[in-house]
Amino acid sequence: QTSVVNMLIVILKLAVIGIFLYAAIPHVQPANWHPFMPFGWPGVMAGAGLIFFAYIGFDAVSTAAEEAINPQRDMPMGIIGSLAICTLIYIAVTVVLTGVAPYASLNVSDPIAFALVHAGERFAAAVIAVGAVAGLTSVLLVMLYGQTRLFYAMSRDGLLPPVFSALHPRFRTPARTTMATGVVIAFAAGLLPIGQVAELVNVGTLAAFMVVSAAVIYLRRAQPDLHRPFRTPFMPWTPILAILTCGYLIASLDWVTLARFVIWMLVGMVVYFFYARRHSVLGGSAT
């Protein structure tokens, strides 16, 4: 049922994007693209460090590996396919958006609807505004699904208390963890500044990608005979490039965000060394 609802919402989101492109393309003014990069590459990379959260959903696909029918085939297709499709959609929307209205005027809470109003397409702007609210539902659904599965996997390994891996007797899903995570997210969304939350999510995700990339290099050397249904191409250059790119994006963030990240890392290290390390199933088997 959840997958059907999510699919319908995704179809709605794609329809809204199609409406925007259809209504906005006739109003594109190429003069708005000059200069194309007014702040140069430093400005592009600084913006990439802030907007990175828009791309983090693709890694949530991996949390559904145990529930996939053919994970060896479905996981690479889902991750790479979703990343490629979303990138193309983002490029198309951004190019058209900045062509309809000057980039300096788009510093508003609803830039797409604003651009359509600027172009005289008020009805399309109203449709976009409603569709944007509905589209948030699928984002929340997917991210909540992925986060609860992460908590479930960590609890099953002993990194978190057993309550996080308790399953519903009928649906066999981590229902308690899902509800608890939803409550925490609701309070965070209502009480914390969304900009600071997004920046903290960005730096945490980038750091996690760096750790994963380093782990790929380490495991390829430490356990060369390990069964690998999917192998990272162009080793070790692909993970090295990922580490350098993520590190550059992290460096583009402000020091306040980095300080908050360091504090959260220290909290996580305390939990790990005083609880998780002694209870980890995988850690115990490795030693």
pLDDT tens for the chain, residues 1 to 287: 566 777 787 888 888 889 889 999 999 999 999 888 888 888 887 777 777 777 776 776 776 666 677 777 777 888 888 888 888 988 999 999 999 988 888 888 788 888 888 888 888 888 887 777 777 777 777 778 778 888 888 888 888 888 888 888 887 788 888 888 888 888 888 888 877 888 888 888 889 889 999 999 999 999 888 888 778 888 899 999 999 999 988 888 888 889 999 999 999 899 888 888 887 777 655 54
Interatomic CA distance for residues 279 and 263, integer angstroms: 23
As given in the structure block, the two tokens for residue 268 are: 């996580």
Q: Mapping DSSP to helix (H, G, I), strand (E, B) and coil, where does residue 61 land?
A: helix
Question: Could you give the domains of the chain?
Answer: 1-191 (1.20.1740.10)
Asked whether 109 and 94 are in contact (CB, 8 A), the reply is no
Give the Cβ contact number of residue 227 at 10 Å: 5
* Nearest partner of 181 among 149, 208, 137, judged by Cα: 149
SS (H, E, C) 188-233: HHHHCCHHHHHHHHHHHHHHHHHHHHHHHHHHHHHCCCCCCCCCCC
Q: Distance from CA of residue 145 to its chain's centroid?
A: 13
